[in-house]
Chains A and B, each alone.
Chain A
Amino acid sequence: MDQMRPDPDALLDRINAEEAKKKRGKLKVFFGAAPGVGKTYAMLEEARRQAEQGLDVLIGYAEPHIRPDTEMLLLGLRILPYKMVEYKGVTLKEFDLDAALARRPALICVDELAHSNAPGLRHARRYQDVLELLGAGLDVWTTLNVQHLESVHDIVERVSGVKVRETLPDWVLEQADDIQLVDISPEKLIERIAAGKIYTHHSVDYLTRQFFNRGNLAALRELALRRLADRVDVQMETFRRQNAVAEPWPAAERILVCIGPSPFSARLVRAARRMAMAFRTNWIALYVQTPGTARLPSHARERAFATLRLAEELGGQTVTLHGDDPAREILAYARGKNVARIIVGKPLRRRGALFQRSLVDQLIRRAGPIDIYIIRDSSEPVLSERPSGPAPRPRPAGYGWAVAITALTTILGAGLYHGLHLSNINVLMLDLLGVLGVAIRFGRGPAALASVLSVAAFDYTVVPPYYSFAVSDTQYGITFAVMLVAALLISTLTDRLHRQSEAARHRERRTAALLALSRDLAATSEKEKSMQTAVRHISEMFRCAAAVLLPGGESPGRPGLAVAAGIGPAPADEKEMSVAQWVFEHDQPAGRTTSTLPSAAAMYVPLRIGPKTIGVLALRGEAVEHFCDPDHRHFLEAFANQTALALERANLAEETRRAWRRVETESIRNTLLSGVSHDLRTPLAVITGSATALLEGSLDRASAAGAQMLAAIVEEAERMERLIANLLDMSRLESGTVQPRLEIFPLNELVASALARLKRRVAGRNIHLAIPADMPLLRVDGLFFEQALTNLIENAVEHTPPDTPLEISAAASGRGATIQIADRGPGLPAEHRERLFEKFFRAPAARGQRGAGLGLALVRAIVQMHAGSVTAGNRPGGGAEFTITLPQACTCSDAGDILQNEDSETDT
């Protein structure tokens, strides 16, 4: 039963692929075995039919050396003009990608998918143009010959002897929604060539000889047909999976191909791909960097990287491992990844043949259930490209030291032997120690020199006859040989140890760098800061200028990129920004060291989270050249991933904050609405009720009851006015745009105008003012502060019985001042004291009473605006008291200073 179920990952992949395809245009490839089978003709013929049916068809590119029959077909079709590109004095006719994108036809025909574009165009290869067209949602028809396929081109070369220069990664063809095979028999094709229908220019004889012989054509035809048959197979399989037919083969039996710096590795990679296609499974190209490979000359290392890139292009996964024992590394990795087959090469003859053969042997011996496929390198010359001479030459100083140390041990040894009559074994040990020291310190070369010199010196000084290189006893021959071998062995071992630890340090550095980055990124969730951190780390690690570009620049309509953080010169000019924009939109690296827009000054890497690009990382400087090395690039990707994660995290944090704010605002608005509508309706009800009673004449307005009604109307209207004033002030304060207009006031005046505003409410109340005569002047915003006092007094009046007294007192202390408003009411319940000043809080006991719970909140906001605080408490002897503390509101001068100036002049 379980076997019947499709793998969920595979299902997800399929859904993702379908999602991506929905938006993409459809790709149709007219596929042929050889030039001249009539692909272009077939494509144009069908395009013509489509155009006649009214479809918007555009001929994006048709070969300039077109055959006469084909040219007839073009008549009446819309044709995009070529883009003329000057290159080394020649004008090349190229496909104009931007014009095609601007024209946006429903269907565009672009001939020759495998073509390499002229330098200076956006992409290096035409298939990249086609992918961009598809990405833009355009349907594309194109043509392709089988010999251009990357996975078969070596076969083609072997069979036909013609080197194919323009190759196409196989995955491009796999993207095609439809492949139409254009096929004619080899005999017919040769006939057509003979009839001059093909290749009308002069090279026809050479081409015919080289390429168009029956054998070649038959072989190519077979290749093409087989490719198509493979595809039909895959479609069949997809169909079966979609319909949950039990899988006839285990799902993830990956294939692993081990590559090295040899040019033969490219063939291994192609073989691996063909095998993976045959077995319908994933494949991995593995490169093990050993101390040995690290010593290789740079061109050999680059070839290994080129092979890794080739593997990537062919759709394989690439991995670089470091280790001393390749067989162990390979098998450990293979077991971890559920690899079923390992492909290794078997070179014919070379310097390291011993080592290589042992790798194959070891793999076979230790592989266990994994199959090992050994591919023999039969055709490609290996030795011609071998590196010449040993790798990094030790510094000459090492040899100097070797001579010096040997001289020292020799003199010492000779002294000991002849002076103290020690055994010659001890002298030998001393020499060995010297050789060991040289080996550890200076490496193999100097160690070898030291051992040879030591043997010679030993012979000269210790072996009889003394002071002659002649040897009397043959057993010393063994001594010499053993000593030489021991010295070389030790130096080789220390050398290897040295390089291994170097590699370990290198790895360590990288791990530490990544760790440091992720730790620093974890420390902040702020976008700017984390991007600064990332840029700093990347710039330090790769020794180049780095910048993070994020969308949301100045123009809101189009998601323009803007530099969010950068170290060193940021990409500023229009051209560089457009490359970054391209990367952002197309989700692929571009710029220097890549095959897209390689002329850009910087390299641009997308910052990706899953399928979506959220930013672009720009790298600039000489060090960018290192990113040709896939190992280095993978490392950069790790950094980019960390950066993207941090960015996403910052974005999410921001989103969360915004969401919270929205929720909070929403709840405040709701409370406000319910509170305000209650507090506005109540006075309105009183007003309407009283006014209608008076209006309808049921009450005499001159009577006592009528007068009461009128007073109620006025009082309620005034209450409403105060409420509205509070609301307005609150919203002004909360908008955060209000700057207090600080002016100098005597407290008396502020209290007086607050009481004046509450004239009707406090009428008849016993209010005791205790403001000392020498109270310093306050520096406050008069209007707001008066409002705060008004609210506190009104609050006291509201919550206390009418016959209880109120007390307003003040005191100064240094630069500070306190103002107290106290009552003799019921006091404050302890549990509500903290919440009193919250917006919309209303004590349960005060439910029946008025006020939106805004008054005290406004008091607090106003006092805080003056850098002060307000507290509430109960007084000894009963009642509540509210205290405003203003720590620095007092001015240095008090009223006396101002008055003193002219106090002498008195009139009576």
Chain B
Amino acid sequence: MTPTLAPVILVIEDDPAIQKVLRVSLEAGGYQVRAARTGQDGILQAATQSPDVIILDLGLPDMAGEATAREIRQWSGVPILVVSARGKEFDKVTVLDAGADDYLTKPFSIQELLARLRALLRRRPVENAQSAVFQADDLLLDMAQRRVTLAGRPVHLTRHEYRLLCLLMRNAGRVLTHSYLLREIWGPDAAQQTHYIRVYINQLRRKIEADPGRPRHILTEAGVGYRWAESP
């Protein structure tokens, strides 16, 4: 990828109207757009056009979104953003677990889409930083010193809360599924204990959010998982 060129977005979507809206908005946002109408075509273009991000619709006529994501994931680490309708939470989880990086529920705002794309494009360099300092508003996470402060005052976190916060902040803007979080923090055996996550998130919100009832940092993705909101 040449830095001087605008990033290439491959849109795999069968509905022409949405294709059109996406193309117009993305091109206005400074991206190059490639379009595919079927999963097969999408896989082909993913291989030939070397896109920087793939936007994948879950309701493709020829193959399941999960299979498409899995196939692409076999030979490419390109970020995949899944787009699907509400009510298909289970599909979203499977496709995220199959290797997709993020998802958006239809209908979505273009602003939101652009923000997600930015997060995905930015992700890779950040991921490598094992020890780093993350900031969101007046919340500061210093991974090197294992230290969390809110408005300069230290915040006491349990070990699990701390690891949860690290995972979320390091992947800011990206949805993390329940099972991913559970595997990362409690190990593979705990992948079904989703209420652990809920309880810890609830606890974490109490400690770091100004209004835990209306959290601004840790956002719930109903039925799927959680996301650290990027600072605008």
Contact A908 B147 (CB under 8 A): yes
| Bound CA–CA A777/B155 (angstroms) | 25
Decide yes or no whether A150 CB sits under 8 A from chain B: no
Interface members, chain A 39-70 (any B CB < 8 Å): none
Interface contact A783-B223, CB-CB below 8 Å = yes
- B114-155 CB mask vs A (1 if < 8 Å, else 0) is 000000000000000000000000000000001110000011
* Contact string against A for B residues 67-100, beta-carbon threshold 8 Å, 1 for contact and 0 otherwise: 0000000000000000000110100000000000
Residues in A with CB closer than 8 Å to B206 are 773
**Is B215 part of the binding interface, using a Cβ–Cβ cutoff of 8 Å?**
yes
Contact indicator A748/B196 (Cβ below 8 Å): no
In the complex, which of the residues A721, A728, A755 contacts B213, with contact meaning CB atoms closer than 8 Å?
A755
Q: Can you list, as one digit per residue, whether each of A735-759 has a CB less than 8 Å from chain B (1) or not (0)?
A: 0000000011110110111011000
Chain A residues with Cβ below 8 Å from B148 are 907-908
Q: How far is the CA of A748 from the CA of B148 in the complex (A)?
A: 23
Known: A906-B156, A908-B154. A771 touches B213 (CB 8 A): yes
Complexed CA–CA distance, A728 and B205 (Å): 32
Q: Are A714 and B213 touching (Cβ within 8 A)?
A: no
Q: Is the CB of A777 within 8 A of B222?
A: no
State in angstroms the CA–CA spacing of A767 and B159 once bound together.
33
User: A898 and B199: CB pair below 8 A?
Assistant: yes
B-chain residues with CB within 8 Å of residue A771 when the two chains form the complex: 213
Hey, which chain A residues are within 8 Å of B50, CB to CB?
Answer: none
Are A749's CB and B203's CB within 8 A? Answer: no
Query: Does A903 lie within 8 Å of B214, measured CB to CB?
Result: no
- The CA of A902 and the CA of B159, in the complex, are separated in Å by 8
Q: In whole angstroms, how far apart are the Cα atoms of A755 and B148 in the complex?
A: 28
User: For the complex, would chain B's binding face be called helix, strand, loop or mixed by DSSP majority?
Assistant: mixed
Interface flag for A574 (CB, 8 Å): no
* A733 part of interface (Cβ distance < 8 Å): no
What B residues does A786 contact at CB under 8 A? 222
- Residues in B neighbouring A721, C-beta threshold 8 A: 86, 107
Contact indicator A752/B214 (Cβ below 8 Å): yes
Judge if B194 is at the interface, Cβ distance under 8 Å.
Answer: yes
Asked if B157 is an interface residue, CB under 8 A from chain A, the answer is yes
Q: Which residues of A contact B155 (CB under 8 A)?
A: 908
A714's partner among B109, B199, B201 (CB-CB below 8 A) is B109
Q: Are B199 and A756 in contact (CB under 8 A)?
A: no
Contact surface of B with A, Cβ cutoff 8 Å = 86-87, 89, 107, 109, 146-148, 154-160, 162, 194-196, 198-203, 205-206, 211-215, 219-220, 222-223
For residue B65, give the distance in angstroms from its CB to the closest CB of chain A. Answer: 19
Asked whether B214 lies within 8 Å of A744 as measured between CB atoms, the reply is no
Closest 3 CB pairs of A and B: A744-B195, A769-B213, A746-B202
Closest residue on chain B to residue A808 by CB atoms: B213
CA distance A744 to B155 in the complex (A): 27
A906 CB contact (under 8 Å) in B157, B212, B215, B220:
B157
Output the least CB separation between A881 and chain B (Å): 18
Q: Which residues of A contact B157 (CB under 8 A)?
A: 906-907
Contacting pair A748 B202 (CB below 8 A): yes
A907-B213 CB under 8 A given contacts A725-B86, A752-B220, A777-B195:
no
Q: Which chain A residues lie closer than 8 Å to B212 at the CB level?
A: 748, 752
A898 touches B222 (CB 8 A): no
Q: A748-B213, A786-B222, A906-B157 are in contact. Are A899 and B195 (CB under 8 A)?
A: no
A808 to B212, CA, bound (A): 14
Among B86, B148, B156, B199, residue most surrounded by chain A Cβ atoms (within 10 Å): B199
Interface residue? A905 (CB, 8 A): yes
Interchain CB contact (< 8 A) of A756 among B160, B162, B220: B220
- Answer whether A743 and B222 are a contact pair too, CB < 8 Å, given A748-B205, A906-B157: no
Instruction: Please indicate the chain A residues that have their CB under 8 angstroms from the CB of B89 in the complex.
Output: 783
Give the Cβ gap from A707 to chain B, nearest Cβ, in Å: 15
Q: Which residues of A contact B107 (CB under 8 A)?
A: 717-718, 721
Partner of A746, one of B160, B198, B219: B198
Neighbour of A753 across the interface among B160, B203, B222, CB < 8 A: B222
Q: How far is the CB of A893 from chain B (nearest CB, A)?
A: 9
A755 vs B206: C-alpha distance when bound (angstroms): 17
Q: Check if A777 sits within 8 Å of B220, measured CB to CB.
A: no
**Chain B residues, CB < 8 A from A745:** 195, 198
Chain B residue nearest to A717 (CB atoms) is: B107
Chain B: minimal CB distance from A322 (Å)? 74
B202 close to A895 (CB less than 8 A): yes
18 A-B contacts (beta carbon < 8 Å): A721-B86, A729-B87, A745-B195, A746-B199, A748-B212, A751-B213, A756-B214, A756-B220, A767-B214, A777-B198, A783-B89, A783-B222, A899-B158, A899-B200, A907-B157, A907-B158, A908-B148, A908-B155
Q: A6 interface residue, CB < 8 Å from B?
A: no
Question: Does chain B have a CB within 8 A of A887?
Answer: no
Q: Do B222 and A752 have beta carbons less than 8 Å apart?
A: no
* Residue from B160, B201, B202 having most chain A Cβ neighbours under 10 A: B202
A782 within 8 A of B: yes
Inter-chain contact B199/A895, CB cutoff 8 Å = yes
Residue of A nearest to B211 (CB): A769
Contact indicator A782/B222 (Cβ below 8 Å):
yes
A718 to B105 Cα, complex, angstroms: 12
Residues of B within 8 A of A773 (CB): 206
Task: Flag if A903 contacts B195 (CB, 8 Å).
Answer: no
Q: In the bound complex, how far is the Cα of B105 from the Cα of A721, in angstroms? A: 11
The distance from the CB of B51 to the nearest CB of chain A, in whole angstroms, is 29
A898-B201 CB under 8 A given contacts A725-B87, A783-B223: no
Give which listed residue, A717, A725, A755, contacts B214 with CB less than 8 A: A755
Within 8 A of B (CB), among A107-133: none
B-contact bits for A697-735, CB 8 A (1 contact / 0 none): 000000000000000001001100100010011000000
Closest to B163 in A: A907
Q: Which of A755, A899, A905 contacts B199 (CB 8 A)?
A: A899
Q: Which residues of B contact A767 (CB under 8 A)?
A: 214
Interface positions, chain A 778-798, Cβ under 8 Å from B, are 782-783, 786
- Cα A471 to Cα B92 in complex, Å, equals 122
Smallest CB-CB separation from A895: which chain B residue? B199
Q: Do A905 and B159 contact each other (CB < 8 Å), given the known contacts A717-B107, A755-B213, A777-B195?
A: yes
Chain A residue contacts of B201, Cβ below 8 A: 749
Task: Let me know if B198 and A753 touch, CB within 8 A.
Answer: no
Residues in B neighbouring A729, C-beta threshold 8 A: 87
Tell me, in angstroms, the Cα distance from A753 to B87 when the chains sit together. 15
Cα(A721)–Cα(B107), bound, Å: 8
Complex Cα gap A744–B200 (Å): 12
Q: Which residue of A lies closest to B213 (CB)?
A: A769
Q: Select the residue from B86, B89, B205, B206 with max chain A CB neighbours within 10 A.
A: B86
Bound together, the chains give a CA A903 to CA B206 distance in angstroms of 15
- A903 adjacent to B158 (CB under 8 Å): yes
How far apart are the CA atoms of A907 and B211 in the complex, in Å? 23
Of B89, B154, B196, B212, chain A has the most CB atoms within 10 Å of the CB of: B212
Contact A752 B215 (CB under 8 A): yes
Do the beta carbons of B158 and A906 come within 8 Å of each other?
A: yes
Once the chains are docked, how many angstroms separate the CA of A762 from the CA of B198?
24
Are A752 and B213 in contact (CB-based, < 8 A)? yes
- A808 to B214 Cα, complex, angstroms: 12
* A771 closest partner in B (C-beta): B213
Decide: A907 near B146, CB < 8 A? Known: A725-B86, A749-B202: yes
